[in-house]
Amino acid sequence: MPAPDLDPVRYVRLTTFRRTGAAVHTPVWFAPVPGGWGVITEADAGKVKRIRAGSPVLIAPCDARGRVADGAPEWTASATLVTGDEAAAVRRAVRRRYRVGYAAFSLLWIVQSAVERLRRAHDALPETAIVLTVAP
């Protein structure tokens, strides 16, 4: 299958798999970054845990609710959790692509993170970055 042209797409459905093999579908924002597409999410999100455990991933264009149109292509991809400068580059790319929406969600993450720190007094970052690369 040819490499995806995701430029006109607003969301992709990221599919990860539980240890039982059950698929978990999540619509995500994404942006092109060197080597693939970058995604940001909460550091303790289930998809991060599944990717860390070695779950394969699939991506497909979708709407905001994760619905994939009939006949839409789906690609197998590798997912790499990134930190430091790579994570900052992903965050910048997503921020550029989604501008106002990103700002609103960032504000929500900051508030939630502050509340969470007050409740549990931990220092986790409110988000983490994932780089998706479509398999050849």
Give a yes or no: residue 6 inside a domain: no
Give a yes or no: residue 2 inside a domain: no
Question: Which pLDDT tens digit goes with each residue over 9-62?
Answer: 899 999 999 999 999 999 999 999 998 999 988 888 999 999 999 999 999 999
Burial code (b: 16+ CB inside 10 Å, e: under 16) for 34-56 equals eebbbbbbbeebebbebbeeebe
CATH classification at residue 74: 2.30.110.10
Are the CB atoms for 44 and 9 separated by under 8 Å? no
Question: Which pLDDT tens digit goes with each residue over 81-117?
Answer: 998 889 999 989 998 998 777 777 677 777 777 777 6
Domain that holds residue 73: 11-134
Are the CB atoms for 40 and 129 separated by under 8 Å? yes
Are the CB atoms for 36 and 131 separated by under 8 Å? yes
Give a yes or no: residue 1 inside a domain: no
Give a yes or no: residue 88 inside a domain: yes
The pTM for the full model equals 0.76
Tokens of 67: 């619905």
Give a yes or no: residue 74 inside a domain: yes
Are the CB atoms for 93 and 10 separated by under 8 Å? no
Please state the domain count of the chain.
Answer: 1
Give a yes or no: residue 3 inside a domain: no
